Amino acid sequence: MLIKPTDALVVVDPQNDFLPGGSLAVAEGDRIFAPLNRLMPRFSHVYATRDWHPKNHKYFQAEGGIWPYHCLQGTPGAEFSSQLNASEIDAVVSKGVDPETDGYSGFAGTDLERRLRADGVGRLFIGGLATDFCVKATAIEAKQRGFDVVVLTDAIAAVKLKPEAEDDALRAMRETGCELATSAEVR
């Protein structure tokens, strides 16, 4: 799978709160960094999304939602992990800013699509956290918006609220027309 100038890498939520020790830790979250760091210099366009929640976000347990506080605006937990080579990121897109929406997708209430179109991007390679929520939502919405999508299976990791959540997410992305590939298949 050859990288073209019209391709972009989208790194979904590589934030401290989603890593081991964070407030909403993905057990295998650290595994995303080696493949992503290896790939980033090879893309003309690298975007990163980040959860950037206000404290009153309705999806937090304190507001009646299912999630513990995480990625609160301006906190260390919302920062990108030091394991990420952030110098390779061309644009950061904040999501989950609206307390009334889940903010899972990188397209939800953001200007990501406008930025991608302005850069002439037609195909997205997606990695990051977490497979069963934000990666899945971003990949499926990208496909629905007309982008070709490749999900990098060795550069994602799942929260796994249920044991089958990761497999279900991969199936949902495939059924929507997303390709699944490893970073080793990308040249």
Question: Which tens digits make up the pLDDT trace of 134-167?
Answer: 999 999 999 999 999 999 999 999 999 999 999 9
| Residue 158, CA atoms < 13 Å, CB-side half-sphere | 16
Please pick, among 13, 17, 51, 132, the residue that the annotation labels catalytic: 13
Out of 95, 102, 132, 136, the active site residue is 95
Indicate which residue of 17, 102, 132, 134 is catalytic.
134
What lies within 8 Å, CB to CB, of 179 at 6+ separation is 148, 149, 150, 151
Q: Please say if 13 is a catalytic residue.
A: yes
Can you give the pLDDT at residue 12? 98
**CATH top-level class for 7-185?**
alpha beta
Domain boundaries, the chain: 7-185
How many whole angstroms separate alpha carbon 93 and alpha carbon 39?
19
pLDDT at 29 (0 to 100): 98
What pTM does this model have?
0.97
